Amino acid sequence: MKDPLTSQPRRMRQYWDEKISWWASSSYEERPRGPVEQLMAHLRRSVHARAVIALEMLRPHLEGRTVVDVGCGNGHFLHCCLEAGAARGVGIDISPAAIEEARQLSQRHGTADRTEWHVGRAGDGTLPPGDFVTGFGLVDWLERDECMAFFKALTGRYFVFSFSEMDGSFDEWVHYFYLIKRLEWFGNGVRAYHHPRKTILGRLKRAGLRDVRIVERPEMRFGRLVHNLHLLEEQ
């Protein structure tokens, strides 16, 4: 059967099939390999901080709700949401290897009956039903058209997602050269991005999402959370 993915998504899928296990362990379980990865794991602690902060923002609203996590990786964040009171979780990731790890995690946690895991692309512009949409690290890996499709799919939803802001800080520059430029030189077509804040806000505005807020905290370093949960709180 012919692979339905075009070359860029196929390369992205292959990249994350190979990387998901060690990325998750170094980001959440802090088991980096080698001196360079130990340095990058130090920066990736901001990934853990990002998840903690987002969960605290969502926690008051999770009881009985469904969370759709796009770019779910090994399912870590969705299981945190379930532990915090969510009724169901739906995870989507381009990597079949990530989805298999997420299924195994749900079996170990006894949440297989409350979770769904799907191989899919954020850039196709469709999302399953759910009360909240999350996407952490996702936007950094989307091309412009894919990013716009994802943002348009958020219309009428409550959401929290992250992006890496091009803020000129030391940590941002280290990560930029370690990841962005390394992929540009050696990534075989796989690309990742840091974005100026105005780029993200401009794309959200064009997608019809104007009333959003950006969370900036030192422990997230150059990571930013974008959300519209204040609309829920104002009801």
What CATH number should be reported for the domain holding residue 228? 3.40.50.150
Domain count, the chain: 1
pLDDT at 30 over 70: no
Instruction: Pick the range with the lowest mean pLDDT from 38-47, 85-94, 135-144, 214-223.
Output: 38-47
Residue 98 lies in a domain: yes
Assess if residue 217 is contained within a domain.
Answer: yes
Given a cut of 60, is residue 81 above it in pLDDT? yes
Task: Write down the pTM of the prediction.
Answer: 0.89
Kindly state whether residue 1 falls inside one of the protein's structural domains. Answer: no
Residue 127 lies in a domain: yes
Q: Comparing 21 with 192, which gets the higher pLDDT?
A: 192
Task: Tell me whether residue 153 is in a domain.
Answer: yes
- CA–CA distance, 42 with 172 (Å, rounded to integer): 13
Which of 25-39, 152-166, 180-194: highest mean pLDDT? 152-166
- Residue 2 inside a domain? The answer is no
- The angle, 0 to 180 degrees and rounded to 10, between the axes of the packed helices 7-24 and 96-109 is 40
| pLDDT tier at 42, thresholds 50, 70, 90 | low
> At a CB cut-off of 8 Å and minimum separation 6, what does 183 contact?
190, 191, 192
* Per-residue pLDDT, 32: 47
pLDDT at 41 over 70: no
Residue 213 is assigned to a structural domain of this protein: yes
The whole domain housing 195 covers: 7-233
Q: What is the mean pLDDT of residues 134-163?
A: 96
Average pLDDT estimate for 135-151: 96
Asked whether the predicted pLDDT for residue 39 surpasses 60, the reply is no
**Confidence class of residue 45 from pLDDT cuts 50, 70 and 90?**
confident
97 lies in some domain? yes
